[in-house]
Each structure stands twice: as C-alpha cells, then as structure tokens.
A = this chain, B = another copy of it.
Amino acid sequence: MTDTRERGGGGDGGWSPALALLWGTGRPVGRRGPRPTLTLDAIARAGVAVADAEGLAALTMQRTAAEVGVTKMALYRYVPGKDELVALMIEAAMGEPPRDAAPKDAWRPRLDAWARGLFERFVRHSWALEAIVGPRPMGPHELAWMEAAVAALAGCGLGGGERLDVAATLVGHVRAVAQQHAAVAGGGAEEAMAEGIAPLLAARREQFPALAEAFASAAHEGSGGDALDFGLARILDGVELLVNARREAAPGE
C-alpha cells in the first residue's frame, strides 16, 4: 500500500476510485446480484475501531474483515485497496465539524473553538495523524472542516488566499501539537520533549546549553498551560494584527 502506483486517472475523468468512494459517487442503485451485507460506513467504522484500539499498525484487511464478520477478500468488493479504506476511515474519524455555536461571533473565538474541536478529534484518533501524511484525496468531511475555518474569517478583511493560509496554518499547528500529545500519552510540548530527552540533556548540557537552560527554567516555572494554547494564542494574535492592518487600510469596506 501507499505505493506510488498509478491509481485511476483513466477514463473516469481524472477521478481516482478513492475520490469516488469518498464523495459517494457510488455504483448505480439498480443492481442485480445478492444484496451486499456490508456498507462502506460500517467498514470504515470497523477500521476506525481497530485503529483506535490497537493503532494503525494493527489495521490489516484481515483484522478489519473479521471485525465486520466477513473474509478479507470480501472487503475488496467495497474498497479497491487498503489506501482507500484508510481514506474512508479518516473521513469517518474526522466527522462533521461541530456546528458553529455562534455564527455571528467574532472570528477569533470561532477559530479558537474550531481548532480545539479539531485537536480533540486528532487526540481521539491519533492514528489519523500517521494516516494523513503524504498526498491523498480529500474527503467531504475534511473539506467541511476547512470550510468552517474559512467561513469564520468571512468579512474580516482578509483576502481569499490569506483566509486559506490561516486555516492551513491552524491545521498545521493542531496536528503538530496532537502529534506531540500522542508521543507521550497526555502532555504538552515540554513534557513531550522532556520525557525522551531529559536524561540525554542532563548528560550533555554543555552541548545544548540553551535547551538545558530552557528546560531547567521551565521546570521551576511550573508549566504554564499547554502547547496547544500557546501556539494558538500566538497564531491568532498574529492573524489579529493582520486583520487590524487590513481594516485600517480599508476602513469603509
């Protein structure tokens, strides 16, 4: 799997089978043979259950098939390959973005809540962090999350490219912190780093003086909040500066 083999792109107008699956451009309904015993959704949920419980490495076609009560090869009637299964699982794991609590709110609290919601998804399904690396087709849920972020920025004076960039930057931050979080079960950036490197650092503080000093200083500061909060505050502060600059430049708009 995940090989660089050519997928689809043939006579289907450039639509890979994965995209067709994700976007529900499924088979026509008037079917002749026996009724399928499974649904794509059930398969995806079974895969998510396996990955949630035992990690992405434990996700095999066999294991997933057993979870839904069929043999491995039966799954290939529904998905062309494991990559597509994982794509469906990502969609299932992300789910719909939360309904915006107060759509008339200012952009900043909306983006803040949005980022925390996304973070919560990634923490709950930490295998997704491994699965979403590399080129892959985008599903409707994933796009809906982006839509929500960009929508929160509507009418605040930022250009279209800037709104997209803000969303992308936030996704990047959330993913990065979620990865640190997953590396050590429950911890911010400091704890995550400290867990693995504290003993190393202690023995080589002359080689990494600034790091050693920062860790020491952080230790008797008492950790003030976690890495998600910190980065989020910094990024949104930076966005706010830009928004204000744009508003000053075109106050009447």
Q: Which residues of B contact A209 (CB under 8 A)?
A: 147, 151
Question: Secondary structure at chain A's binding surface: helix, strand, loop or mixed?
Answer: helix
Question: Which residues of B have CB within 8 Å of A159?
Answer: 217-218, 221, 224
Q: Which residues of A101-154 have CB atoms within 8 Å of chain B's CB atoms? A: 129-130, 133-138, 140, 143-144, 146-147, 150-151, 153-154
Does B221 lie within 8 Å of A168, measured CB to CB? no
Of A58, A134, A209, the most chain B CB neighbours within 10 A belong to A134
Tell whether A29 is near chain B: CB-to-CB under 8 Å: no
- Mask for A169-181, Cβ within 8 A of B = 1, else 0? 1011101110110
Contact of A180 among B168, B182, B231, B235 (CB under 8 A): B168
Interface centre among A129, A153, A165 (most CB of B within 10 A): A165
Distance between Cα atoms of A48 and B171 in the complex (Å): 28
- Shortest Cβ distance from A88 into chain B, in angstroms? 16
Q: Are B234 and A242 in contact (CB under 8 A)?
A: yes
Q: Mark A1-35, 1 if CB is under 8 A from B, else 0.
A: 01110000000001000010001000000000000
**Shortest Cβ gap from A224 to chain B (Å):** 6
* Residues in B whose Cβ lies below 8 Å from that of A214: 150, 160-161, 163-164
Is A184 located at the chain interface by the 8 A CB criterion? Answer: yes
Q: Contact at B184–A161, with CB atoms within 8 Å?
A: no
- A137 CA / B221 CA spacing, docked (Å): 26
Cβ of A210: which chain B residues have Cβ within 8 Å of it? Answer: 147, 150-151, 153-154, 163
Q: Known pairs A133-B179, A169-B173. 6 more at Cβ < 8 A?
A: A151-B209, A161-B190, A164-B214, A172-B172, A234-B241, A235-B235
The 5 A-B pairs of least Cβ separation, nearest first, read A172-B176, A160-B217, A234-B238, A160-B218, A151-B210
